[in-house]
């Protein structure tokens, strides 16, 4: 069968692994647009023991399938592997058995798979010259999409097997998708005074901006940066935060005091007598601010010799030595 599936009849004949598992990648109209603000251009589909196929939905070179028919076809699979489940949840029902390969790669190799590194020269050219087109993937030759994802699949196919990261796949992914899809209302008159997005339409629609959480970090602590705006590090002093305004009544801000040492102290069974940095400042005979700096330096750079006999730091050092984690000692 030809690698481009253009009719429902051809789709019905494609039964290489229905009722089993498959890998899919939804190719949006523009890779740089927030998934909330784009649509499906085509779908790359492949089973472990077959060749790959492109299922066009909105492409200029082909006859196009109906999205509902493609969705019904995808639903017939026991497991649906993807490289970014949060992204795919914008297009697929959350009830489908979707598993995220990126979490498996992160768990096994301590790194993530960089899709953009496998763009063909055609992809690079089109995105350089036509970055502003919301349907740019509809005009990139469809065989180039196939070429790109065939190469990617060959690099990730080994991760289709193995244990599913259930908590990350389900609650973790779903929560952040629900948060970011709501968007944040902005004041248009103030926004461009403080921020310079790459292109407004990538993430802004009807005076709402959509952020994008990166869930694939070794610390499991999500970052949130999209369209040249780092939402996790908005400046406090210059008034930039006033750009973001509540859509209904209020913004509610949550913060955890001394989040990192609190978690570590709980793991160690160590009890702080007061707020963690105040407590540590008294032990080290320094200010609360200095205690915070010293704590981070020793937690993430290795416990220095001068702190190894100090309460809390001693327990951290002993625990990291047990697990061979203190290789970056700052002597």
At 237 the pLDDT is: 87
In this structure, the strands spanning 79-82 and 98-100 are: parallel
Q: How far apart are CA 291 and CA 282, in angstroms?
A: 9
Q: How far apart are CA 92 and CA 160, in angstroms?
A: 19
Q: If you average pLDDT over residues 205-222, what whole number do you get?
A: 90
Query: How many domains would you assign to the chain?
Result: 3
At 286 the pLDDT is: 95
* The residue count for the chain: 331
Could you tell me the residue range of the domain that residue 193 belongs to? 183-243
Indicate whether 188 and 110 sit together in one domain.
Answer: no
At 170 the pLDDT is: 85
> What element of type H or E holds 55?
strand 52-56
Q: How far apart are CA 252 and CA 250, in angstroms?
A: 6
Indicate whether 20 and 152 sit together in one domain.
Answer: yes
Q: If you average pLDDT over residues 288-311, what whole number do you get?
A: 91
Residue 330 has pLDDT above 60, yes or no: no
At 110 the pLDDT is: 84
At 68 the pLDDT is: 96
Residue 238 has pLDDT above 80, yes or no: yes
Residue 324 has pLDDT above 60, yes or no: no
At residue 208, the 3 state secondary structure works out as strand
The answer to the question of residue 169 being in a domain is yes
The answer to the question of residue 331 being in a domain is no
Indicate whether 97 and 125 sit together in one domain.
Answer: yes
Indicate whether 162 and 214 sit together in one domain.
Answer: no
At 17 the pLDDT is: 64
Indicate whether 152 and 82 sit together in one domain.
Answer: yes
Least trusted range by pLDDT, from 218-222, 233-237, 303-307: 218-222
Query: 302: phi > 0 → left, psi -120 to 50 → alpha, else beta; which?
Result: left
Tokens standing for residue 183: 């968007």
Q: Write down which residue in 142, 174, 206 finishes a domain.
A: 174
Asked if residue 98 lies in contact with residue 80, where contact means CB atoms within 8 angstroms, the answer is yes
Confidence of residue 61 (pLDDT cuts 50, 70, 90): very high
Indicate whether 42 and 140 sit together in one domain.
Answer: yes
Please state, rounded to an integer, the average pLDDT across all residues of the chain: 90
Cα diameter, the chain: 76
Task: Report the range out of 28-32, 72-76, 171-175, 243-247 with the highest average pLDDT.
Answer: 28-32
Residue 67 belongs to a domain with what CATH number? 3.30.420
The answer to the question of residue 328 being in a domain is no
Indicate whether 195 and 292 sit together in one domain.
Answer: no
Indicate whether 98 and 28 sit together in one domain.
Answer: yes
Indicate whether 200 and 105 sit together in one domain.
Answer: no
Residue 163 has pLDDT above 80, yes or no: no
The answer to the question of residue 329 being in a domain is no
Residue 229: HSE in the Cβ half-sphere, 13 Å Cα cutoff: 23
Indicate whether 127 and 79 sit together in one domain.
Answer: yes
At 47 the pLDDT is: 87
pTM: 0.83
> What element of type H or E holds 153?
helix 142-156
Q: How far apart are CA 143 and CA 140, in angstroms?
A: 9
Q: If you average pLDDT over residues 112-137, what whole number do you get?
A: 96
Indicate whether 214 and 298 sit together in one domain.
Answer: no
Residue 56 has pLDDT above 60, yes or no: yes
Number of C-beta neighbours around residue 191 at 10 A = 19
The answer to the question of residue 2 being in a domain is no
Residue 209 has pLDDT above 90, yes or no: yes
Indicate whether 64 and 135 sit together in one domain.
Answer: yes
110 or 175: which leads in pLDDT: 175
Please list the residues that pair with 99 across neighbouring strands: 81
At 331 the pLDDT is: 46
Q: Write down which residue in 115, 143, 174 finishes a domain.
A: 174
Closest among 80, 56, 82 to 70, alpha carbons compared:
56
At 49 the pLDDT is: 75
Query: 112: phi > 0 → left, psi -120 to 50 → alpha, else beta; which?
Result: beta
Closest among 70, 114, 86, 45 to 224, alpha carbons compared:
86
The answer to the question of residue 253 being in a domain is no
The answer to the question of residue 327 being in a domain is no
Q: If you average pLDDT over residues 245-271, what whole number do you get?
A: 87
Q: Write down which residue in 191, 219, 243 finishes a domain.
A: 243
The answer to the question of residue 3 being in a domain is no
């Amino acid at each position: 069968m030809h690698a481009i599936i253009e009719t429902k009849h051809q789709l019905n004949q494609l039964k290489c692994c229905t009722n089993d598992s498959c890998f899919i990648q939804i190719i949006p109209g523009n890779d740089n647009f927030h998934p909330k603000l784009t649509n499906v251009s085509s779908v790359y589909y492949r089973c472990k023991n077959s060749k790959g196929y492109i299922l066009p939905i909105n492409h200029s070179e082909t006859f196009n399938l109906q999205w509902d028919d493609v969705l019904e076809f995808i639903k017939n699979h026991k497991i649906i592997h993807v490289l970014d489940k949060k992204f795919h949840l914008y297009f697929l029902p959350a009830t489908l058995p979707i598993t995220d390969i990126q979490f498996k790669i992160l768990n096994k190799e301590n790194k993530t798979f960089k899709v953009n590194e496998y763009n063909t020269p055609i992809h690079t050219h089109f995105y350089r010259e036509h970055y502003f087109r919301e349907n740019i993937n509809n005009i990139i030759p469809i065989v180039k999409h196939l070429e790109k994802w065939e190469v990617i699949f060959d690099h990730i196919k080994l991760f289709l097997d193995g244990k599913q990261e259930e908590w990350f796949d389900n609650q973790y992914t779903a929560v952040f998708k629900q948060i970011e899809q709501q968007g944040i209302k902005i004041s248009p008159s103030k926004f461009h005074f403080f921020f310079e997005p790459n292109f407004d339409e990538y993430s802004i629609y009807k005076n709402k901006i959509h952020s994008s959480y990166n869930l694939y970090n070794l610390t499991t602590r999500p970052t949130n940066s999209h369209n040249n705006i780092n939402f996790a590090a908005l400046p406090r002093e210059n008034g930039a935060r006033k750009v973001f305004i509540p859509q209904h009544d209020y913004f509610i801000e949550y913060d955890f005091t001394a989040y990192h040492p609190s978690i570590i102290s709980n793991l160690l069974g160590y009890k702080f007598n007061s707020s963690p940095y105040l407590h540590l400042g008294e032990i080290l005979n320094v200010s609360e601010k200095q205690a915070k700096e010293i704590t981070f330096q020793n937690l993430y750079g290795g416990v220095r010799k001068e702190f190894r006999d100090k309460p809390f730091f001693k327990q951290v050092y002993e625990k990291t030595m047990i697990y061979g984690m203190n290789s970056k000692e700052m002597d």
